């Protein structure tokens, strides 16, 4: 069955109007463009690693580059208050989102627009433009996520996200290969201008799609003081437990993950095309193969069961890098192929939990606080601390030889991620009967049916 047919069946099942169905399709298209934009543009992408390295950024500076978008997430709180008060989601998303995405074209032109001397000027300009873009992009999440939740009923969200992510994975597979080939083929003098301009245009197309979507608003509550709003978030215990779990997950993951591409290219000696094939493309293929299973599992067995099964395996994926060697692509391939099969399930469960555990009337505020805490105390702090550890260990002369400082950081991160799953996921609320045992039994039965059909 085609993805379009699957979406049509979902919309009919939920009794959605043509206008709402069309809007959900436009949101999916926008998310597709946004994902392709994210392949190029972002604090930790392969093209950004190339640009930062060409501007002589060290490990700590690279950590700062990865942390800037997460620190800028603090801007989601004022944006969420603005959205709650005015309900002008389309206006703010298009205005701030378009500015945020267009700035990436300027980032690609840094080597043309900014003098080479003094040496810090180009790198400083990169940090400044990244900060401005990240601050404006904070408006995007607090607008589109509540917008989507008002359009899509709870019963179809898991399957909708799984179809969306499968489509995105397929497009990301082809686009990742194209980007890698393009970066290897272009001379360094024009490489980043071409690639980041392409990324910026895709980001702009993402925002334009939302301009044609219907807006469905739930009646807003009476004006609530900011302090009262923050207090109400922390009074929702299930939401707080999930926020703590996801913050710990983001922190332990980002201790090493922002540095894996850098390690693969700078230390292992892999090229852009190799990284796109064995990293982006292999993850996309894996996601396409398993995403429908996670979507059905989410709607059938619940978010806690999916989170436990998916996150437990995903937490161990980076350990493949412990067996890395110069020019070896297998650790990169295994980490991304095996890891993506499970981290797409944990991300799907996280998206669903954000929507199901936040009240309809104040969802933008809940999501803004969630994003700020997980981004700042999780992703940004983890990324920054990872850079500090790498540079400190290098200065002290620790972890040299085959077990280098990057592998030491990977081992530490992997152990902490595994503990995070074991300690925090069982405390999440269960929203379906059956649980993880029923899900694993269903998976085993599905595998048996596939084996019989293959005969």
Looking at residue 241, its pLDDT comes to: 93
Reported confidence tier of residue 421, pLDDT bands at 50, 70, 90: very high
Alpha helices in 41-153 (DSSP H): 46-54, 59-71, 76-86, 89-108, 110-113, 120-151
Looking at residue 412, its pLDDT comes to: 96
**Backbone torsion region of residue 152, taken as left when φ is above 0, otherwise alpha when ψ lies between -120 and 50, otherwise beta:** beta
86-99 average pLDDT score: 86
**How many CB atoms are closer than 10 A to CB 338?**
18
Which residue, among 409, 271, 398, 286, has the nearest Cα to 339 in the 3D structure? 286
391-409 average pLDDT score: 90
Beta strands in 284-354 (DSSP E): none
Distance CA 279, CA 143 (A): 31
Pick the range with the lowest mean pLDDT from 71-75, 141-145, 412-416: 141-145
Distance CA 281, CA 284 (A): 5
pLDDT surpassing 70 at residue 43: yes
Looking at residue 204, its pLDDT comes to: 95
Torsion, Cα 289 294 296 302, to 10 degrees, reads 170
- Residues 246-288 have pLDDT tens digits of 999 999 999 999 899 889 988 888 888 888 888 888 888 888 8
Task: Pull the structure tokens for residue 200.
Answer: 């910026």
Question: Mean pLDDT of all residues in the chain?
Answer: 85
pLDDT surpassing 70 at residue 217: no
The DSSP H or E segment spanning 410 is helix 405-424
Percentage of the chain with pLDDT > 90?
34
CB 150 within 8 A of CB 27: no
Looking at residue 146, its pLDDT comes to: 79
Residue 369 or 449, more confident: 369
Looking at residue 153, its pLDDT comes to: 83
In degrees, rounded to 5, the angle at the alpha carbon of residue 182 between the alpha carbons of residues 180 and 187 is: 115
- Residues 290-300 have pLDDT tens digits of 888 888 888 78
In degrees, rounded to 5, the angle at the alpha carbon of residue 245 between the alpha carbons of residues 442 and 251 is: 115
Task: Pull the structure tokens for residue 254.
Answer: 């980002």
Looking at residue 30, its pLDDT comes to: 93
Distance CA 426, CA 343 (A): 17
Alpha helices in 152-269 (DSSP H): 154-185, 188-210, 226-235, 237-254, 260-262
Residue 55 or 409, more confident: 409
Looking at residue 303, its pLDDT comes to: 87
Query: Which residue is listed with tokens 């269903």?
Result: 442
pLDDT surpassing 80 at residue 227: no
pLDDT surpassing 70 at residue 433: no
Reported confidence tier of residue 431, pLDDT bands at 50, 70, 90: low
pLDDT surpassing 70 at residue 331: yes
Handedness of CA 416, 417, 418, 422 (dihedral sign): positive
Domains of the chain: 11-454 (1.20.1250.20)
Reported confidence tier of residue 432, pLDDT bands at 50, 70, 90: low
pLDDT surpassing 70 at residue 376: yes
């Amino acid at each position: 069955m085609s993805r379009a047919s699957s979406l049509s069946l979902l919309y009919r099942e939920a009794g959605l109007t043509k206008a709402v169905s069309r809007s959900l399709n436009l949101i999916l298209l926008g998310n597709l463009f946004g994902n392709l934009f994210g392949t190029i543009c972002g604090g930790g992408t392969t093209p950004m690693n190339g640009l930062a390295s060409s501007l002589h950024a060290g490990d700590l500076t690279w950590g700062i580059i990865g942390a800037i978008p997460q620190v800028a997430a603090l801007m989601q709180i004022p944006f969420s208050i603005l959205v709650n008060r005015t309900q002008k989601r389309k206006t703010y998303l298009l205005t701030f989102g378009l500015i945020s995405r267009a700035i990436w074209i300027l980032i690609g032109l840094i080597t043309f627009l900014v003098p080479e001397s003094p040496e810090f000027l180009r790198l400083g300009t990169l940090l400044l433009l990244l900060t401005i873009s990240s601050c404006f992009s904070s408006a995007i999440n607090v607008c589109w996520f509540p917008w989507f939740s008002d359009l899509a009923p709870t019963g179809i969200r898991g399957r909708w996200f799984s179809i969306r992510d499968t489509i995105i994975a397929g497009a990301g597979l082809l686009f990742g290969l194209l980007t890698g080939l393009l970066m290897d083929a272009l001379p360094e003098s024009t490489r980043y201008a071409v690639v980041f301009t392409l990324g910026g245009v895709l980001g702009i197309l993402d925002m334009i799609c939302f301009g044609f979507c219907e807006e469905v608003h739930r009646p807003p509550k009476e004006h609530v003081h900011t302090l009262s709003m923050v207090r109400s978030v922390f009074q929702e215990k299930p939401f707080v437990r999930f926020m703590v779990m996801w913050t710990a997950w983001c922190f332990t993951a980002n201790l090493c993950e922002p540095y894996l591409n850098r390690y693969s290219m700078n230390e292992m000696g892999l090229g852009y095309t190799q990284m796109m094939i064995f990293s982006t493309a292999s993850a996309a293929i894996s996601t396409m193969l398993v995403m429908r299973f996670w979507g059905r599992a989410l709607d059938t067995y619940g978010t806690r069961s999916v989170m436990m099964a998916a996150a437990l395996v995903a937490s161990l994926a980076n350990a493949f890098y412990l067996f890395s060697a110069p020019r070896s692509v297998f650790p990169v391939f295994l980490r991304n192929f095996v890891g993506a099969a499970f981290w797409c399930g944990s991300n799907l469960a996280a998206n669903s939990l954000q929507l199901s555990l936040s009240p309809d009337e104040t969802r933008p505020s809940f999501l803004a606080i969630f994003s700020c805490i997980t981004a700042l105390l999780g992703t940004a702090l983890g990324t920054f601390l990872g850079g500090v550890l790498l540079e400190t260990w290098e200065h002290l002369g620790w972890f040299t030889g085959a077990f280098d400082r990057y592998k030491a950081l990977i081992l530490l991160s992997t152990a902490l991620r595994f503990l995070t799953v074991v300690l925090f996921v069982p405390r999440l609320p269960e929203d379906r009967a059956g649980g993880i045992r029923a899900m694993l039994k269903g998976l085993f039965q599905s595998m048996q049916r596939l084996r019989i059909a293959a005969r």
